Amino acid sequence: MNAIYILWLRQLKRHFRSKPRMIGSLGQPLLFLLALGFGFGPIYQRAGGGNYLEFLAPGIIAMSVLFTAMFAGIETIWDRQFGFLKETLVAPVSRFNIMLGRTFGGATVAVFQGIIVMIISVPFGFRFNIVYLPLAIIFMIIIAILFTAIGTAIASLLDDMHAFSLIMNFLIMPLFFLSGALFPLDGFPPAVRAITSANPLTYGVDGLRVALTTATIHAGILNDFAVLLVFTLVFLGIGSYLFSRVQV
């Protein structure tokens, strides 16, 4: 447990020490809120969808958590190249605990990022349900752990940071756009709906949207929670296995 705590704390210090990185990671969510929220808002309202910002903001919060969590895996490659990972792996600690510490550290940063985006969205006109805010944070935590584990699993297979960035972009954009973050899923063809149903972020976005706005439930909040939890446990297992095979 001490190793998990130390690695978790190290991940936090590394992130919060880099102010340009923190500020830069807020640029994309702000752009989406501003450009889409005010650009598509009137169209969405005329189509009978209501307040588009209320629909959009939970998706952008989930996007912020997703991006930060997935790219946390690049630190595994960075530490391998500069020797810190070797020092960590030779310590008398199981690799599973090391992987958990790194995952929880990256996930904590991602949750903080999501909370900051949620607060920033308020001046844009977003009004979230404060009663269910703890439930929304629980969904953020599960989303963050899931996608940090996926990022760490992929990073365990690579030793090139450029390749990692390309693969992340290849994965993140379909996950994001096919999650219902930007538009309702009701109008999709059945084949695409099947793909969205296999996307774990779909359940995270739906759960966040219900918790923050009490919007219409697509999968059911218990189903959202259960599916996300299963995905998280599976990828923690996969990530732990792949990390245990890392060669330094």
What is the distance between the alpha carbons of residues 51 and 37, in angstroms, rounded to a whole number?
A: 9
Which pLDDT score, from 0 to 100, does residue 91 have?
66
Question: Furthest-apart CA pair in the chain: how many Å?
Answer: 62
Amino acid at 171: L
Dihedral (C-alpha) 66, 150, 103, 14: value to the nearest 10 degrees? -60
Q: Give me the phi and psi of 245, to 5 degrees please.
A: -100, 5
What is the pLDDT at residue 131? Answer: 86
Tokens representing residue 174 in the block: 């379909």
H-helix or E-strand spanning residue 140: helix 133-155
Angle between helices 52-71 and 95-121 (to 10 degrees): 150
Domain boundaries defined on the chain? 2-244
Around 64, how many Cα atoms within 13 Å sit in the side-chain half-sphere? 34
Q: Identify the pLDDT of residue 35.
A: 79
pLDDT at 54: 86
Ranges in the chain, pLDDT < 50: none
pLDDT confidence of residue 14? 63
Task: Kindly report the pTM of this predicted structure.
Answer: 0.88
Measuring CA to CA, how many Å separate 20 from each of 25, 27, 108, 185, 207? 8, 11, 18, 35, 31
Residue 232's pLDDT is 95
> Which amino acid does the sequence have at 23?
I
Cβ–Cβ under 8 Å, residues 188 and 109:
no
Q: What is the pLDDT at residue 208? A: 92
